[in-house]
Chain A
Amino acid sequence: MTKSKKFIDKIQNKMGDVTYKMLIKRIKKNISYNYSYLKKGSSIKFLKNQNFGKKKIAIIIGSGPSLKRNDQTTVLKKCKDKVIIIASDGSLFYCLKNNIVPDLVVTLDSHPTRIVRWFGDENLNLNKLRKDDYFRRQDLDIDFRKEMLANNLLLKLTNKFGKKLNIALCTTSSNAVVKRLIKMQSKIYWWNPFVDDPDKKNSISRKIFNKNKLPLINSGGNTGSAAWMIADCVLGCRKIAMIGMDFAYYNDTKLNRTQYYDFLTKYFSRKNIYHFFKKIYNPITKSNFYTDHVYYWYRKCFFEMLSNTNSITYNCTGGGILFGKSIKFVDLKTFCNKYI
C-alpha cells in the first residue's frame, strides 16, 4: 500500500504530459475537421454573463457514481427553475429521464466512438458493442449497462428535448458527437480548450485560436471541471454547487468497473495495476473512497482552479474525494434553502 501511494503521487507531475501526448494528434484532427461545422453554432462568448433568466447561481451535475447513489432529483426539480443547471454530457440521460432539462450541457472528450453514446448513437449495433465494453463495465450510470435499451431511450429523449438544449461544444469533440448534436437541432456554443500556454513558442493553443477565433477555456482535464470553469468564468456565477463530482469510486466498486481498468490491464500486469489506485478517507462522510491516477490528477487540477477564483464552490455530492479548505461540503437541500 505504501508503495502504491508513493507511485500514484509521483506520477501526478507526469499526468499533464501523458494526457497531452495521448490526445494531441486526435485533438488536432478533430479541431481541423470541426472547422467546417463552426457555422452550425455560435461562439461561447455569446453566453458571457448569461443567466438564462435565473439567479446567478449554478448547479453543476457531474456524472460520478454518487449521482445515482444519492439521488437528488426531488431537490433538483424544486430548484431547477430558479438556478442555472449545467450538466456534463455523461449526466444528460439522468437529467432528461427525470424531466430536468439543463440550461447548458458541456461536452469535450475527443474519443471517436464513446462520447456520442451520452447523446444517443443512431448507428449503434451489435458489432460496435462487441468491440467496446466500456458502457457495460463503467460505474458512472449503471442504466447504460443495458446498452441497446438505454441507447434507444436516450435517442427518444434527445430527439424530444434536443431543440431545447444549449450545448457548450468543445472543438475537440468527435465527428460523431458534432453530427448528432446538429441532428438534434440543439443550440451549439463552440469553445477551444487550452492545450498549452498560448505565450509559449509554437503554441498549439495560439494556432487553434488564430484559425477559428473561438475563446480558449481551461477544461481542468475533464467535463465536470470544464462545466465548473464555464459557470465561473463564462457565466460569471459566484456561487457554484456541484453534485455527481466524485473523482473517486465507492469502496464496494470492483476494480474491473473502474474507468481505466481495460487499459491498465492491457499494458501492466494485474499485480501492478494496484499501484494506480489509492484509498482516501473522506472525513465529512466518514467513509473511505478509492481513486485512480487520473481521477486523482483531476482532483489536483480542480483544487488549483479553486485557488484561482473569487467564486464559492459547494460540494453537494455527498461522497467522493473533493473536500478541503477551498470547498464547502454541504447537502443540496441546505444549499438551496440558504441561497435560492
Chain B
Amino acid sequence: MALLKGNYKLQKTVTKGKLTEEEKLEILLEKKAHKKLGGSMVYVSKKKVNWDLKPK
C-alpha cells in the first residue's frame, strides 16, 4: 500500500488526546482478556440449539 505523505507543514502541532481513566481500563481489560476476566462460557447471540448442522 502506497503511503500518501503531505508536502506541507501544519501551523498547529497536533497532539494525541489524553485517554480517560475509563478508556485506560478498557484497554487493559482487553489486554488481560486471556486471564479470568470473562464469563464461564461463550454466549452466541440469538442461538438456541442445533441438533444437526446442514453441510456447507
> Which A residues lie at the B interface, using CB under 8 A?
3, 6-7, 10-11, 14-25, 27, 45, 48, 108-110, 170, 172, 193-198, 205-206, 209-210, 215-223, 226, 229, 232-234, 260, 263-264, 266-268, 272, 275, 293-294, 297-298, 301, 304-305, 308-309
Q: Are A23 and B38 in contact (CB under 8 A)?
A: yes
**A215 with B44, Cβ < 8 A, contacts A6-B22, A22-B35, A294-B39 known:** no
> Which B residues lie at the A interface, using CB under 8 A?
21-22, 25-26, 28-30, 32-53, 56
Cβ-neighbour of A222 out of B25, B32, B33, B41 (below 8 A): B41
CB-defined contacts of A222 to chain B, threshold 8 Å: 39-41
**A275 with B49, Cβ < 8 A, contacts A108-B40, A294-B38 known:** no
CB-defined contacts of B40 to chain A, threshold 8 Å: 108-109, 219, 221-223
Q: Are A15 and B38 in contact (CB under 8 A)?
A: yes
User: Which of B29, B44, B51 has most A Cβ within 10 Å?
Assistant: B44
Q: Are A215 and B49 in contact (CB under 8 A)?
A: yes
Interface of A is mostly: helix
**A263 with B42, Cβ < 8 A, contacts A209-B53, A215-B49, A233-B48 known:** no
Cβ-neighbour of A21 out of B34, B44, B53, B56 (below 8 A): B34
Distance, CA A17 to CA B29, complexed state (A): 11
Q: Are A298 and B39 in contact (CB under 8 A)?
A: yes
Distance, CA A233 to CA B48, complexed state (A): 7
- Which residue of A has the minimal Cβ distance to B48? A233
Cβ-neighbour of B44 out of A109, A194, A263, A272 (below 8 A): A194
Q: Are B22 and A10 in contact (CB under 8 A)?
A: yes
Closest beta carbon of chain B to A274's beta carbon, Å: 11
**A215 with B47, Cβ < 8 A, contacts A3-B21, A23-B42 known:** no
Can you list 30 A-B contacts (CB < 8 A)? A3-B21, A7-B25, A16-B43, A19-B43, A20-B38, A21-B33, A22-B34, A22-B35, A23-B42, A24-B42, A25-B34, A48-B51, A170-B41, A193-B41, A206-B56, A209-B50, A215-B50, A215-B51, A215-B52, A217-B48, A221-B40, A232-B48, A266-B35, A272-B21, A293-B37, A294-B37, A294-B38, A297-B43, A304-B45, A309-B48
Distance, CA A16 to CA B29, complexed state (A): 12
Q: Are A206 and B53 in contact (CB under 8 A)?
A: yes
Cβ-neighbour of B49 out of A10, A24, A229 (below 8 A): A229
Q: Are A304 and B46 in contact (CB under 8 A)?
A: yes
Given contacts A263-B37, A267-B37, A297-B39, 9 further A-B contacts (CB under 8 A): A22-B34, A110-B41, A193-B42, A209-B50, A215-B50, A221-B40, A221-B41, A222-B39, A275-B22
CB-defined contacts of A16 to chain B, threshold 8 Å: 42-43, 45
Cβ-neighbour of A218 out of B34, B39, B43 (below 8 A): B43
Q: Are B42 and A219 in contact (CB under 8 A)?
A: yes
Q: Are A218 and B26 in contact (CB under 8 A)?
A: no
CB-defined contacts of B48 to chain A, threshold 8 Å: 217-218, 229, 232-233, 305, 308-309
Distance, CA A266 to CA B37, complexed state (A): 11
CB-defined contacts of A17 to chain B, threshold 8 Å: 30, 33
- Which residue of B has the minimal Cβ distance to A194? B44
CB-defined contacts of B38 to chain A, threshold 8 Å: 15, 18-23, 294
CB-defined contacts of B43 to chain A, threshold 8 Å: 16, 19, 194, 218-221, 297, 301
Cβ-neighbour of A18 out of B30, B51, B56 (below 8 A): B30
